[in-house]
Amino acid sequence: MRKNITRFIIVCILLFIFKGFLYRSLVNYTEIGKRKGHTITNEKLIDRIKKETINEELTLETIAEISQEITSKELYFVSRSLEANPNTSFKTKEANCIGYAAMCNAIGNYIIRQNKLQETYEFKHLVGKMHVLGYDIHELFSSPFFKNHDYNVIIHKKTGKKIYLDPSVYDYTWIDRVCSE
């Protein structure tokens, strides 16, 4: 019995350690569209972003990390229709997957603009389908809420490197990168 408990604990630890790799191996996002970005005007959110970016070397990775981290700390997921404006979401603290991606996108774009990095980086709000082992999971649901899923990409324009982010998945699983076609 003790041996089985030890094995179970080891398996759980390994699953936790390799959860990002497993998720990226099993789940793929397919882009079907884009959403228009929002400009951040909320002074408290602007102050929060400035606080997080002070003395930071702003690379593709750090912009992605800061954008997801602030989004995760400021929002709580709800599965109902809400306004996707990050200025409103910051006040209400609630968002669905559209609001999470909109907030992450707005934060990333704010960082890029404020630091005059538009020639180097681009941050986009994407709409897509999630496929688990190649199967479109949106076909399992009849609710219009599950017809697609929102996520982000940050692109290094000079090298072509892309990082795909799903801030709503990150909030619950700490998986900081996803795969997309």
Helix (H, G, I), strand (E, B), or coil: what is residue 22? Answer: helix
Q: Give pLDDT, residue 3.
A: 79
Examine residue 180 and state whether it is found in any structural domain, yes or no. no
Examine residue 8 and state whether it is found in any structural domain, yes or no. yes
Range of 7's domain? 2-173
The H or E element spanning position 152 is strand 149-156
Examine residue 127 and state whether it is found in any structural domain, yes or no. yes
CA distance 172 to 80: 17
Examine residue 181 and state whether it is found in any structural domain, yes or no. no
Examine residue 62 and state whether it is found in any structural domain, yes or no. yes
9 has pLDDT over 90: no
Q: What is the pTM of this model?
A: 0.90
Q: Looking at per-residue confidence, does 64 or 13 come out higher? A: 64
Q: Give pLDDT, residue 122.
A: 96
Q: What are phi and psi of 93, to 5 degrees?
A: 70, 10
Report residue 20 as tokens: 């990002």
The partner residues of 30 in beta bridges, in order of sequence, read 129
What domain count does the chain have? Answer: 1
The partner residues of 171 in beta bridges, in order of sequence, read none
Examine residue 91 and state whether it is found in any structural domain, yes or no. yes
Q: Give pLDDT, residue 144.
A: 66
Q: Which residues, 6+ apart, have CB-to-CB distance to 79 below 8 Å?
A: 96, 145
Examine residue 178 and state whether it is found in any structural domain, yes or no. no
CATH number at residue 9: 3.10.620
The partner residues of 94 in beta bridges, in order of sequence, read 76
Tell me which residue of 39, 112, 48, 53 sits closest to 74, measured CA to CA.
48
Q: For residue range 108-144, list pLDDT tens digits in order.
A: 999 999 999 999 999 999 999 999 998 888 788 777 6
Helix (H, G, I), strand (E, B), or coil: what is residue 151? Answer: strand
Examine residue 179 and state whether it is found in any structural domain, yes or no. no
